[in-house]
Structure 1
Amino acid sequence: MCLTILWRSDVNNGQTSRHGDIEMALQVPRSNSDMGMEAFNKQIHEADEQVDKLYVLLQKLKEANEESKAVTKADAMKAIKKRMETYVDEVGKIALGVKTRIEAINKDNLNNRQKPGCEKGTGIDRAMMNMANALTKKFKNLTIQFQTLRQRIQDEYREVVERRVITVTGTRLDDETIVHMIETGNSEQIFQQEILEAGRGQ
């Protein structure tokens, strides 16, 4: 005996909202199939909560990036950069966990088709697949947004470092050298030197 699942996915103008993306109402009769459906509901809910955490981190990363553009002190820049790196690390860990959860959900959905009345194409099967697809779409959208933002941050910071090098040394370095400076932390030294030079000119 299969359960009836009502589902809804809210997408406004192509943007993913934090809340109300996946809502479910279960009519749960007392049967041997209860535990399986309750587990599915729990999996969806827990994965959706993790996706919401990704959204929050994405917003924090955007805010930190904007904040970094107005910073004039080396110590403040270093602190913001460290905070942004922490956000990126957290996103990576959570995203890996969500990916694993979604894979498990999809596997369970396929296994559920072996139950009488839950075969492929039945109402319960379509509902479960739709819920899993809605969650997957929400996750992928946030992943794309994060990757786009991260690339933009890297490009913008590389341009800033390049300008600083020219200001301090009068020399334009190639991209490989600029990237090496960023990776080794030497870009922060250039930033400090730029501030010192500006102070001497006053």
Structure 2
Amino acid sequence: MNNLLTNSFESERDIEMGYQNSKNKSDYGLEDFFQEVQEIETLLDKMSNINHKLQEANEESKSVTKASEMKAINKRMEKDINEVGKITRTIKVKLEEMDRNNLENRKKQGCEKGTGVDRSRMSMTIALKNKLKERMKNFQNLRQIIQDEYRQGVARMVFTVTGEQPSDQVIDHLIETGSSEQIFEKAIQGIGRGQIFADMATLVDAQGETLNDIENQVQNAVDHIQRGTGELRTAKRLQKKSRKCMFIAIIILLVIAAIVVLSILKPWAK
């Protein structure tokens, strides 16, 4: 699965550009490019695996009965979420470097803007950015699910102890401060899961804005190309119409000239 995206684009580009061996790919700068793509795909897969681990940890936390078990789960979740942050920053740096390399590669003969090589590099780069955005969206959704279930769990625990349904303000206060430690400390606050996911939300929002800007730039480029194509077709139609009118005008002039000559010479009079 890791190689599907790379292989599909690589095969398509081989056909379009007529590559015969790996040396040709290296000449066009694609060998190093495909290596960069593979590294990013590996990191994206790692993000998906961590997301799955967090889901499992969240389900496991619902059935624990000991504070020590809850603390261990929270530690695992904290470690995994920190790892996601590191991976996301690494991918972002690699994508920014890939953008710079794409522009630099256009200086090579046969790799100019709009060529098959350039289009392949740009398409694969955009695909990777979209995959990163998708991964971040998945983490955002997971964060919301865990937060909602977390609050519900706190409400149930308060009701069990006090016999009253707590208000949202009470729940927020307990989560933020870790009050009533003898009842909730380990299970509710643990090692600060609420703050961990708040930090994660900030990371998601920041990455989402960056990738939305990228999508807008790509869409603008597509719109420019489509408008240019339409204008070119219109120009061709006008050119054909102009040639047709000129041809008819020449025929009319020749007919008029023939009539004038015949009227002057009057060969029938002889």
Return the match for 2:82 from 89, 109, 113.
89
Partners of 1:33 and 1:188 in 2: how far apart? 65
User: Structure 1 residue 19 and structure 2 residue 2: aligned?
Assistant: yes
Question: Shift in Å at residue 114 of structure 1?
Answer: 2.3
Say what the alpha-carbon RMSD is for the aligned residues.
Answer: 2.7
What letter matches 1:92 in structure 2? G
Question: Shift in Å at residue 148 of structure 1?
Answer: 0.5
Return the match for 1:29 from 23, 29, 48.
23
TM-score (norm 1): 0.75
- Percent identical among aligned pairs is 48
Partners of 1:59 and 1:154 in 2: how far apart? 16
Q: Which residue of 1 aligns with 2:175?
A: 182
1:64-92 deviations in whole A, cap 9, x for unaligned? 11111222222212221221121111111
Q: SS of 2:63's equivalent?
A: coil
Conserved 8 A contact 1:158-1:178: yes
Residue correspondences, number? 176
Greater strand proportion: 1
Question: Shift in Å at residue 105 of structure 1?
Answer: 0.8
Greater helix proportion: 2
Conserved 8 A contact 2:26-2:32: no
1:142-166 deviations in whole A, cap 9, x for unaligned? 1111110011101110111022112
Return the match for 2:69 from 65, 70, 76.
76
Say which structure, 1 or 2, has more relative contact order (CA 8 Å, 6+ apart). 1
The structure with the largest alpha-carbon Rg is 2
TM-score (norm 2): 0.57
Return the match for 1:119 from 98, 112, 124.
112
Gaps of 5+ in 2: 15-20, 188-270
Partners of 2:38 and 2:161 in 1: how far apart? 53
What letter matches 2:22 in structure 1? V
Conserved 8 A contact 1:22-1:135: no
Question: Shift in Å at residue 112 of structure 1?
Answer: 1.6
Gaps of 5+ in 1: 1-17, 195-202
C-alpha distance 132-187 of structure 1, shift in aligned 2 (>3 A): farther
Question: Shift in Å at residue 41 of structure 1?
Answer: 2.2
Return the match for 1:161 from 154, 160, 173.
154
Conserved 8 A contact 1:74-1:188: no
C-alpha distance 58-32 of structure 1, shift in aligned 2 (>3 A): closer
Conserved 8 A contact 2:159-2:165: yes
C-alpha distance 142-187 of structure 1, shift in aligned 2 (>3 A): farther
